C-alpha cells in the first residue's frame, strides 16, 4: 500500500514537471515569435530633413513641399516638430497659422506640444498667449489637460510676476477638474515668496496641510531659504524640526540654506557646526555645503582660512569641483592676489578639474585690476588655447594696460585676437589713450589701434 502511494506521488510530481517544461517552452517560443515580428522604427524622413533647416521660412517650405508635391500626409509628429522648429526661431506668427491649420483639420495633438507652446511664449514675455493656449487646448484642439498643464501655466504666471493671475487659476483648479498636488502648491509658495509676501506663502502652506497634500522637501526648502535670507535662522530651524516630525528628510540643500543664514548673521562657526551635524543625522555633506563656507570666508577676506578649508575638503575625501575652485579664485583676485590664484588654477588642473570660461575670465580680470598686464597676457594665452574667450571689456582693458606699459608686441597680439573675433576697441578707451601723455605708442601701435576703431 505504501509502495503504491509512493508511486502515485512520483507520477504526480513527474506530471507537474512536464507541465512546467511545456509552459516554459511555450513562453520561449512565443517571445521568439514576437521578436521576429518586431521591426526597428523607421525615422520619419520629413522630421529628419526638418532638423537640417536653418530658418522658419525654409521649415515651412519643406513642410509644404512634402504635403503638396510629394503627397505626404502630415500627422501629429510632423506638426509638433514643425511647431518646435518655429518656436525655437521665435516665429510666433507662423506658429499661430500652423495652429489654425491643426484646428481646421482636427488633428489630434499631444499635451507635450501645448506645454512647449506655453513655455516658449512665456520666455518671449507673451504670457497672454500662454494663458490662451491653456484655456483653449481642450476646447479647440481636443487635447485633454492634465495636472502637468495646470502646473506649467501657474509656473509661467509666477515666473512672469503675475502671481494674482496664478492665484485665480490655482483657486479655480478644482472647478476645472484638477486635484492639486505638491508641485502646484510649491509653485504658488514660490510666487508669494518672490513677492516678499511670507504671510501669503504661509497661508498656501497651511491650505496644503488642510487638503492633506504632503509637503515635499522642496516645500520646506523654499520656506527655509526665504527665512534664512532674512536672517531668521531660528524660524528656519523650527521648520527643520517640523520636517523631522513629519518624516521628511532634509537634504544637502536644506542644510546649505540654513548655513547661509548663519553666515548672513555672521555666525560662521555655527554654520560649520551644522555641516558636521547634518552628517551625524544621516545627510552626507556635499560640495555646495563647503561652497557656502568658502564663500563666507572669501567675502570676509579670510583667504588663508579658505585655503585651509580646501585642504580639509581633500582630507575628508571631497574632490573640489570647478565651482568650488572658482569661488576661491574669485575671492583671491578680489583681495589683489591673482598670482596666488593662478597657482590654484594650476593645482585644479593637476587634480583633474578643467577650468571653465568663468575661471579664466575671473583670473584675467584679477590681473588687469592690479595692473599686472603681462600676467594677464599669460592667462589670455592659456585661455585661448582652451578655446575660451574673454569679455570685450577685458580685451579693451588688456590692450590699454599693455600699451600704457610699453608692451607694444603684447598689445598687438591682443588686438589681432580681437580682430579675429570681429571685436573693435572701445572708442572711449582709445580716446583715453590718446589723451594720456604716457601711453608710449609707436607708429605701428597707433596704426593697429586706428584700424580696430575704424
What's the pLDDT score for residue 60? 86
379 and 367 in contact (C-beta within 8 Å)? yes
Distance, in Å, from the CA atom of 290 to the CA atom of 263, rounded to the nearest integer, reads 12
What digits encode the pLDDT tens for the residues 80-90? 898 999 999 99
Q: Is the pLDDT of residue 35 over 70?
A: no
269 and 240 in contact (C-beta within 8 Å)? no
Q: Which of 97, 105, 102, 123 is nearest to 113 (CA)?
A: 102
What's the pLDDT score for residue 407? 85
What digits encode the pLDDT tens for the residues 197-254? 999 999 999 999 999 999 999 999 999 999 999 999 999 999 999 999 988 999 999 9
What ranges in 38-126 are assigned the alpha helix state H? 45-50, 56-64, 76-88, 92-105, 111-123
Q: How far is CA 84 from CA 28, 122, 133, 153, 203, in A?
A: 43, 14, 15, 18, 38
234 grid coordinates: 531660528
Average pLDDT for the chain = 86
324 grid coordinates: 568650488
What's the pLDDT score for residue 16? 42
Q: Which of 179, 241, 164 is nearest to 211 (CA)?
A: 179
* Average pLDDT of span 363-388: 93
415 and 448 in contact (C-beta within 8 Å)? yes
| Region for 305 from its dihedrals, namely left if φ exceeds 0, alpha if ψ lies in -120 to 50, beta otherwise | alpha
Amino acid at each position: 500500500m505504501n509502495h503504491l502511494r509512493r508511486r502515485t506521488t512520483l507520477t504526480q510530481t513527474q506530471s507537474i514537471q512536464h507541465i512546467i517544461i511545456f509552459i516554459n517552452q511555450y513562453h520561449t517560443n512565443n517571445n521568439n515569435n514576437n521578436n521576429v515580428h518586431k521591426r526597428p522604427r523607421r525615422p520619419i524622413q520629413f522630421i529628419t530633413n526638418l532638423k537640417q533647416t536653418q530658418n522658419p521660412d525654409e521649415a515651412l517650405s519643406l513642410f509644404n513641399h512634402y504635403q503638396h508635391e510629394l503627397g505626404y500626409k502630415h500627422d501629429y509628429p510632423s506638426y509638433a516638430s514643425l511647431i518646435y522648429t518655429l518656436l525655437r526661431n521665435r516665429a510666433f506668427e507662423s506658429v499661430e497659422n500652423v495652429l489654425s491649420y491643426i484646428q481646421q483639420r482636427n488633428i489630434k495633438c499631444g499635451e507635450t506640444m501645448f506645454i512647449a507652446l506655453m513655455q516658449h511664449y512665456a520666455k518671449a514675455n507673451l504670457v497672454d498667449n500662454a494663458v490662451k493656449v491653456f484655456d483653449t487646448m481642450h476646447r479647440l484642439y481636443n487635447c485633454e489637460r492634465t495636472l502637468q498643464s495646470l502646473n506649467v501655466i501657474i509656473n509661467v504666471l509666477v515666473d512672469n510676476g503675475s502671481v494674482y493671475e496664478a492665484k485665480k487659476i490655482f483657486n479655480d483648479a478644482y472647478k476645472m477638474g484638477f486635484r492639486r498636488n505638491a508641485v502646484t502648491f510649491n509653485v504658488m509658495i514660490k510666487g508669494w515668496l518672490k513677492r516678499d509676501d511670507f504671510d501669503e506663502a504661509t497661508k498656501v502652506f497651511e491650505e496644503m496641510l488642510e487638503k492633506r497634500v504632503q509637503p515635499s522637501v522642496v516645500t520646506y526648502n523654499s520656506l527655509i531659504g526665504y527665512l534664512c535670507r532674512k536672517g531668521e535662522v531660528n524660524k528656519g530651524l523650527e521648520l527643520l524640526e517640523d520636517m523631522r516630525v513629519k518624516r521628511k528628510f532634509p537634504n544637502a540643500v536644506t542644510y546649505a540654506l540654513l548655513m547661509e543664514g548663519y553666515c548672513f548673521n555672521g555666525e560662521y562657526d555655527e554654520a560649520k557646526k551644522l555641516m558636521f551635524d547634518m552628517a551625524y543625522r544621516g545627510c552626507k555633506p556635499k560640495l555646495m555645503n563647503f561652497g557656502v563656507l568658502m564663500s563666507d570666508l572669501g567675502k570676509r577676506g579670510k583667504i588663508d582660512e579658505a585655503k585651509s578649508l580646501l585642504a580639509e575638503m581633500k582630507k575628508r575625501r571631497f574632490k573640489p569641483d570647478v565651482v568650488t575652485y572658482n569661488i576661491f579664485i574669485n575671492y583671491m583676485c578680489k583681495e589683489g592676489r591673482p598670482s596666488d590664484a593662478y597657482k590654484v588654477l594650476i593645482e585644479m588642473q593637476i587634480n583633474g578639474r578643467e577650468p571653465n570660461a568663468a575661471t579664466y575670465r575671473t583670473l584675467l580680470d584679477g590681473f588687469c585690476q592690479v595692473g599686472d598686464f603681462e600676467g594677464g597676457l599669460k592667462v589670455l594665452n592659456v585661455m585661448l588655447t582652451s578655446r575660451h574667450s574673454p569679455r570685450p571689456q577685458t580685451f579693451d582693458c588688456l590692450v590699454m594696460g599693455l600699451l600704457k606699459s610699453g608692451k607694444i608686441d603684447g598689445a598687438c597680439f591682443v588686438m589681432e585676437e580681437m580682430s579675429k573675433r570681429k571685436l573693435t576697441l572701445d572708442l572711449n578707451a582709445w580716446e583715453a589713450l590718446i589723451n594720456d601723455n604716457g601711453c608710449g605708442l609707436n607708429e605701428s601701435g597707433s596704426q593697429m589701434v586706428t584700424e580696430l576703431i575704424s
